[in-house]
Amino acid sequence: QLQLQESGPGLLKPSETLSLTCTVSGGSVSSTGYYWGWIRQPAGKGLEWIGSVNYSGYTYCNPSLKSRVTISVDTSKNYFSLKLSSVTAADTAVYYCVRRGTNGEPKTYDPWGQGILVTVSS
């Protein structure tokens, strides 16, 4: 059974770079049928799609975040990562890593990691 687990610092200062890693178990980020992505949720608010990456490193991101976002995949270590630069308090949220199907797989986000709270505060 595929499982995703987020890890990274939980507290950042404004202007720093958020760096999160999602470790994949029970499956491989090298699978051609999937994209690996990030979704975030500020406290008490809705879900916001950040972006996704496939096994070859092809990415696409939310236009509103694109200038600050880098998503990458490490097939040798079976994980993928998110970097968000120049963070502000508005980036405070629970960040989820997810898998999405493509190439014949259902085009939906499943499963989800448990989420990691990232707080931006001086």
Residues near other proteins (CB under 8 A): 39, 46-49, 60-64, 96, 106-115
For other proteins, give the closer residue by CB, 16 or 21. 21
Distances in Å between the Cα of 90 and the Cα atoms of 13, 28, 71, 86 are 12, 33, 19, 11
Question: Least distance from C-beta 10 to other proteins, angstroms?
Answer: 16
Question: Least distance from C-beta 45 to other proteins, angstroms?
Answer: 8
For other proteins, give the closer residue by CB, 4 or 12. 4
Question: Least distance from C-beta 78 to other proteins, angstroms?
Answer: 20
CB atoms under 10 Å from CB of 122, counted, come to: 7
For other proteins, give the closer residue by CB, 62 or 92. 62
Cα separation, 76 vs 7, in Å, equals 18
First to last CA, the chain: 40
